[in-house]
Amino acid sequence: MTAIPPGSSCPYSAQVAADFRPFDIADPFDFYAQARQEAPIFYSSELDYWIVSRYEDVKAIFKDPGTFSSENTQSSY
């Protein structure tokens, strides 16, 4: 995963986040292609999670559990 240089913005698109339908799985491929290009990382308020759409970014996250933890998914709110 490429670090974001200081002073630059996160690759975030409010439109991609607004178009995200996590439970509509009929034909999500066009959306995921758009997300990978325009907003490879975006926040889903419906899921209350950050969504990472590029394979290489996901692999980097899995290899860095010190920074990226799933610990909060184990707790009951």
Give me the DSSP letters along 16-37. Answer: HHHH--TT--SS-HHHHHHHHH
Strand, coil or helix: 8: coil
Alpha-carbon torsion (64, 75, 52, 29), positive or negative: positive
State mean pLDDT over 10-38: 85
Cβ count within 10 A of residue 71? 7
Reported as a pLDDT band with limits 50, 70 and 90, residue 66 is: confident
Tens digits of residue pLDDT in 38-51: 989 999 988 888 89
Residue 68: the pLDDT is 85
Residue 30: the pLDDT is 92
Q: What are phi and psi of 14, to 5 degrees?
A: -60, -30
